[in-house]
Structure 1
């Protein structure tokens, strides 16, 4: 049966592709997006290809999830809400605290408040959560126990010791983090994503609305913002490569993330919104593979065919985690879906797209300077 889907933040990287997936499946789509310049450029109507991609696909409302009237208008007639709207960027969140909390937490609270106090047709809310809520995630001790180490300390990292430690334990081995893991985010961004998820999973069921949470890992692929210097290392490194500039590799380059391709994320989100089996569940959405920053740099330089210099500097950001890899068993067992685009293939597709885009200006250094000024970048 066709649904009317509202995607908040729907003109963004994930939302714009997701809108097309819903329409192809016969659903109607509305989008609410604030079209911030950091992602869409100074004049979104003329500078945002993501917004342009929604022409003829979705009914677009230019507005904010923090505004009652904007939300109320966008919610009219919606039967499913996919709540993607959020400020993103671990580093920036550590000094733009009020903005991150107001948008991520306040916007989610306002959405739920309207559902609680006004008439609506919404039967399900899918909340875009994040791997950042796990903090350092899961590790295995030498005797085989699963543990969740505390955040790394400035004192350790200043000595060049970037690994995680747990008092009384020897060397720890990274293992995939499942959905039942300890939640202990290490950044303001992570805290806001945990609060968003908790609000939806706590409040929605009391309203007779099904809740589904998706803990996205590091999403990448064609369409991601090349303008935003605060998030997305593939975009940041690609711009540096095209400018012929040296790549500054933080820590020792062996820090790792779970990079998951955009098409896999869109399909997982589509199933979370439309599958009856998804109701009430939390799902990791990742590749299940850890990729180091050094591997990212090598893959990008190979795909571009440009060998710009890369320097391991030992710089580090407070609030960053060391490693991350998702356990995606639940996604496969309940929704029957396993992300399947390998990292190397995803990078090739991403680079092919980047080469069709203009080279962006040098805003990355400014973002580093902002963090260093606040003593968050060492």
Structure 2
């Protein structure tokens, strides 16, 4: 059955590609996007390739999920909603608290309020949640128990101890985190994503709408913003390498993330939007493979066939986690999908694309200065 899908935040990295995937499969797409300068530049029609990629693909409404009027207009023909619109960035969320809560939680509340109190045709909502809601995620003790350690202490990290600890336990081994793990986010961003997911999964069934939650890991690939300093280390380090600048590696460089390629994320989201089996489900979307920051740097040096100086500084950011790896069994068992792109192949494709793009300014350093001024970067 052909759907009319509203993608909030649909002119972004994930949404623009998802729009094409849906249209290629015979569905119709409307995009609601605020086109913020941090992502799309000051004149989006000329500065945002992501926006231009939607020409002939989707109806684009410039507006925000914090505006009920914009939401009502965007929802007028929708039969499904993919709710991607959100302020992103762990570090920035720790000092722009009101903006993050207003957009992420308030926008989701307004969307649900309209769907609860007005006539509409929406039958499914897919919420883009995040691995950040797990906090430090799952670990195994020496005697084999699965535990969920608390956030790392500032005092420990200041002393150069960046590992995760649990009182009364010896060394802990990180293991893949499944969807039934404890939720205890360590940043304002993570808190807002947990609240978004909880609102959707609680309210939608009461009004006859099927909810689906996708907990994305670290999404990367061609088309990722190189302007926005909160999009992740692949973009940040790529810009530094192209500028010939030193890379400051935080902590000890052994902190790891689960990097998942954009094409795999789009396919998982497409299935969550269109497959009957997805209804009511919560799914991790990741590669299931950890990659350390040191490994990221080496992979980028190989992709660009050049190196710049690196410094393992011991700096750290409050709110950051040490590790997180997705357990993706449910995605495979319920939707029959396993992410296919290995990190080495994905970084190579990402690097080839980056080399076709202009070298961006150093917004990253400004973001670090803002955190340091608030004692969040040490």
- Fold match by TM threshold 0.5: yes
SS in 1 for 2:88: coil
Q: CA deviation at 1:231?
A: 2.6
Cα distance in 2 for partners of 1:124, 1:229 equals 33
SS in 2 for 1:283: strand
Q: Bigger CA drift: 327-336 or 303-312? A: 303-312
1:328 alignment counterpart: 328
| Cα-to-partner distance string for 1:72-118 (whole Å, 9 max, x where unaligned) | 00001100000000000000000000000000000000000000000
Cα distance in 1 for partners of 2:60, 2:231 equals 25
Equivalence map 1:171-186=2 (5 Å): 171-186=171-186
Q: How many residues align?
A: 378
1:366 alignment counterpart: 366
2:225 alignment counterpart: 225
2:252 alignment counterpart: 252
Cα distance in 1 for partners of 2:230, 2:17 equals 22
Q: CA deviation at 1:362?
A: 1.0
Cα distance in 1 for partners of 2:24, 2:75 equals 21
1:211 alignment counterpart: 211
| Cα-to-partner distance string for 1:175-199 (whole Å, 9 max, x where unaligned) | 0000000000000000000000000
Q: CA deviation at 1:48?
A: 0.3
Segments ≥4 residues shifted beyond 4 Å: none
Equivalence map 1:95-110=2 (5 Å): 95-110=95-110
| Cα-to-partner distance string for 1:35-64 (whole Å, 9 max, x where unaligned) | 000001111111000000000000000000
* Root mean square deviation, CA, Å: 0.4
Cα distance in 2 for partners of 1:287, 1:100 equals 27
2:159 alignment counterpart: 159
SS in 1 for 2:29: strand
Give unmatched runs, 5+ long, in structure 1: none
Cα distance in 2 for partners of 1:367, 1:74 equals 33
SS in 2 for 1:258: strand
Contact 1:251 1:312 survives alignment (8 Å):
yes
Contact 1:39 1:228 survives alignment (8 Å):
yes
Q: CA deviation at 1:243?
A: 0.2
1:199 alignment counterpart: 199
Cα distance in 2 for partners of 1:237, 1:36 equals 23
Cα distance in 2 for partners of 1:181, 1:25 equals 34
1:272 alignment counterpart: 272
Cα distance in 2 for partners of 1:76, 1:48 equals 26
Contact 1:127 1:197 survives alignment (8 Å):
yes
Q: CA deviation at 1:232?
A: 1.1
1:128 alignment counterpart: 128
Matched, 1:140 2:140: yes
Q: CA deviation at 1:306?
A: 1.0
Equivalence map 1:279-318=2 (5 Å): 279-318=279-318
Q: CA deviation at 1:230?
A: 2.0
2:263 alignment counterpart: 263
Cα distance in 1 for partners of 2:231, 2:160 equals 24
| Cα-to-partner distance string for 1:213-265 (whole Å, 9 max, x where unaligned) | 00000000000100001231100000000000000000000000000000000
Cα distance in 1 for partners of 2:307, 2:226 equals 20
Matched, 1:42 2:58: no
Cα distance in 2 for partners of 1:27, 1:43 equals 29
Cα distance in 2 for partners of 1:88, 1:310 equals 27
Contact 2:224 2:231 survives alignment (8 Å):
no
Q: Could you tell me the TM-score, scaled by structure 2's length?
A: 1.00
SS in 2 for 1:167: coil
1:236 alignment counterpart: 236
Q: CA deviation at 1:6?
A: 0.3
Contact 1:90 1:231 survives alignment (8 Å):
no
Matched, 1:31 2:6: no
1:354 alignment counterpart: 354
